[in-house]
Amino acid sequence: MLLRHCVALLFLCLFNSMANAQQPATTPSVPGKTDSPKVSSGSKWYDKISLRGYSQFRYNRLLETNPDLNCEQCDRSIGKNQGFAFRRARLIFSGDIHERVFLYLQFDYSADASDVNKHFLQVRDAYADYAFDAKKEFRLRVGQSKVPYGFENLQSSSNRLPLDRGDAFNSAAPNERDMGAFFYYAPAPVREIFRTLVNDGLKGSGDYGVLGIGLYNGQTTNRPELNNNLHAVVRASYPFTIGRQIIEPGLQAYSGKYTIAKDRLSAGVKSLSVPMYDDRRVGASFVLYPQPFGLQAEYNVGKGPGFNPASDSIELRNLKGGYVMASWRTKLKNDQWLTPFARYQVYEGGKKQETDARYYDLKETEIGAEWQFIKNLELTLSYVISHRKYSDFKTDYDEQGNFLRIQLQVNY
């Protein structure tokens, strides 16, 4: 409650500063991309909008040892009765509609409307940034955008080495996004580092500030709010250099109330009369950017709704988990890049967005390599060794297996 009042007070103070903001400003940056070019004063706002995107085409069933192994949270084209599929197909409209206002709209045209209707257009991001100062060091973001929790969650899927985000952090904010208001602060020199980490191919997360705080609904992407409580989040992350190496440690935490929707409850499962549960976590991140060796690790702990098979009920349960990943980035001839990697992840806890807040116990290793043979095309191969266990009211799932994955990413 104190954190929420502090956030609200800070937003109020920042809004009061708008009336005094008169100096012209440089262009705000797109998270994970370079700033858009300056335009003449006589141009219209729609002349400043850029269009870009990427698509990921996958096949997950090479050398498959267990077709019953699947993953609802990550890639639903894993397992039996699956074949070629788009994992993502994105279109991004972005640009400065005012010297202090930046607009960002991202759509996914590979979204599934149901199990039998695919490739619908869905909103992923729809937000505006207001910059309070000429250097764009203080920004307020309002709309649907990424929740500043974790490094890998903020990292664009077009930059990430593993084909899917780790369960332990991504289950905190499924699809990484929610509706809310977020304040970001970063000194101008650090903002330049954030841009460099992405533009130089070092797999940065983009510019989400050295400090991010905010309030958001907490019911996950494109889902309606179901209670009168907001989630509060805070994240601190600071990149610094040691010689030619760049290191970025980070800390983050969030707290709120999550209500399980009726369509996510099995008939007969026991839960609170109003299925609203505490939802809180704290996590740490560490990134050594690959020059050429890279190391990335995250771990979080907390409490949230989780199914208990001993009582056939959804309870407030402990959760914990994270991952560690090593990589090596090598330049080949003709400006090609090869980046082999290996990641090990664990998670023990509930997934609030799944049926009956399924309780998981998983261990998974992924070994692969990304080959960017031209700027607009990237090929990734990865071999997965997975053991996934979960329980809900109707299911006691325990499957393990190995499979080879292939992805072609087109950047446009």
pLDDT tens digits for range 215-268: 999 999 999 999 999 999 999 999 999 998 999 999 999 999 999 999 999 999
Taking the C-alpha atoms of residue 19 and residue 263, their distance in angstroms, rounded to an integer, is 46
Taking the C-alpha atoms of residue 110 and residue 86, their distance in angstroms, rounded to an integer, is 6
pLDDT at 392 over 70: yes
Q: What's the distance, CA 99 to chain centroid? A: 28
What are the pLDDT digits (tens) for 338-348? 999 999 999 99
Amino acid of residue 320: K
pLDDT at 7 over 70: no
What are the pLDDT digits (tens) for 113-135? 777 788 999 999 999 999 999 99
Q: How confident is residue 28, by pLDDT bands cut at 50, 70 and 90?
A: very low
Q: How confident is residue 41, by pLDDT bands cut at 50, 70 and 90?
A: low
What token pair was written down for 112?
A: 């599934």
3-state secondary structure of 76: coil
What token pair was written down for 74?
A: 């990550």
Residues constituting the chain? 412
What are the pLDDT digits (tens) for 294-343? 999 999 999 999 999 999 999 999 999 999 999 999 999 989 999 999 99
Taking the C-alpha atoms of residue 377 and residue 55, their distance in angstroms, rounded to an integer, is 10
Which residues share a beta bridge with 98?
101
- Burial tier of 274 (Cβ tally within 10 Å: 0-12, 13-18, 19+): exposed
pLDDT at 55 over 90: yes
Cite the DSSP H helix spans in 288-363. Answer: none
What are the pLDDT digits (tens) for 146-171? 999 999 999 999 999 999 999 999 99
Q: Compute the mean pLDDT over every residue in the chain, rounded to the nearest whole number.
A: 91
Taking the C-alpha atoms of residue 364 and residue 345, their distance in angstroms, rounded to an integer, is 5
pLDDT at 22 over 80: no
Fold category of 2-14+48-411 in CATH: Porin (2.40.160)
